[in-house]
Amino acid sequence: MVDKIKNINDHELIIGNKKLSFPLILGPMGVGVSLSDLVAAVANEGGAGTLSIVGIREIWSQKLGRSVSTYDAVTFEIEAARSLSPKGVIGINVMVAVQRDYEDSIKAAVDMEIDYISIGAGLIGSLPIIDHPHKTAIAVIVSSDRAANIILRRWKNNHWREMDYDLAAFIVEGPLAGGHLGFSIAQVTKPEYQLEAILPSIKKLAEDNGNIPVIAAGGIYNRDDILSIMSLGADGVQMATRFLVTEESAASQAYKMAVINTTEPEGIIVSRGSPCGLPFRVLVNSPMYQTYLKAGRPLKCDEGYLLRKDLAGKYTVCLAKDGYKFFCICNGLLASAGYNDKEEDLYTGGANAYRCNEITTVKKIMNELKGLD
């Protein structure tokens, strides 16, 4: 047991070569929620802001009225965030499951000298070779000590350090998080898989392998939660859902109101619907989910963001494209961000989303978490 943390504000969190004045990272919310305005606002308050770049090519193509590449879109979004927070700590999140955009997203972030890259929705299996490498901090999202061990072995056996990638942090995500979860449906409610249970063994691994910072995520809502989880060894926290209903959030007004109108824990469920195979947390009042309940089947994929390679090496495979067991989350999440008016909205949020009862500001939340209110 780590000594109880009494003053979060005096606790340093370092990611790569960047020191945060407050040990909080904004969790990535996609599609199109954790964009430059929200990310910069958190960074300007002393935390770190993580851009969600899922669907970013579609978002910037619509903004500019012309088709752009994933590489260019990621570059544009980082530039936008940097213009709003020149001195703040800013990173991006890359999902392993979004295979087509994975390498180009990382290359763009490295070329832009991003402060860190968090990688999740699957275990990191490769990192692209960069033409002009420089030290890049990688924060890996894990949900078990087994996953952390795999990452550590891969890091030792690969040439990633020679390529100037640095394993800078573990983000330990528990089952109360929003979006994709690194657990089975059966594990989500079991005590042995909760954040407080899985954190200590991962912290021990991190200490034994160079004292890698450990950041706790999933279900952290207020200052007391931060104090509690840091007393178990976390070096910092990642929070997302509370910031979804801020003025700076790029979520649509309908999305924000859907969160505020969710007033009971039962209003947020874990669905088997994601075509990448991971459980996905959904707000029951999502229009797309309500249509699914009435029709008995989800919508098919026609966007293709989660396409995987077929036997010929082409991106054609999607479990939501050919069957009826999986949601086309690409359609629903793009709609919820205002970038697809052909489909109904699909909303995700953490298990504590029902506790959000007003649209507020990043500064107000950060002041509360710092104990300044």
Cα distances (Å, whole numbers) of residue 83 to 23, 43, 79, 104, 204: 23, 12, 6, 22, 39
Strand-strand pairing, 165-173 and 136-142: parallel
| Domain ranges for the chain | 8-250+358-370, 254-353
Residues in Cβ contact with 170 at an 8 Å cutoff, skipping those fewer than 6 apart: 139, 140, 141, 142, 148, 151, 202, 206, 212, 213, 214, 215
Does 289 or 256 have the greater pLDDT score? 256
pTM of the model: 0.92
DSSP string, 225-250: HHHHHHTTT-SEEEE-HHHHTBTT--
What are the phi and psi torsion angles at 229 (to 5°)?
Answer: -75, -30
Q: Is the pLDDT of residue 72 over 90?
A: yes
Please report the pLDDT score of residue 184 as a whole number. Answer: 87
Q: At what angle do helices 70-84 and 56-64 cross, to 10 degrees?
A: 80
pLDDT recorded at residue 308: 74
Run of H or E including 152: helix 145-157
Strand segments (E) across 83-201:
89-95, 116-120, 136-142, 165-173, 179-180
Q: Tell me whether the omega of the peptide bond preceding residue 74 falls within 30 degrees of 0, making it cis.
A: no
Domain 8-250+358-370 in this protein, CATH class: alpha beta
Token code pair at residue 48: 């770190």
CA 216 to chain centre: 12
pLDDT of residue 303 exceeding 70, the answer is no
Find the mean pLDDT for residues 93-103: 87
Handedness of CA 196, 200, 201, 205 (dihedral sign): positive
> Mean pLDDT across the chain, nearest whole number?
89
How many angstroms separate the CA atoms of 22 and 371, rounded?
A: 12
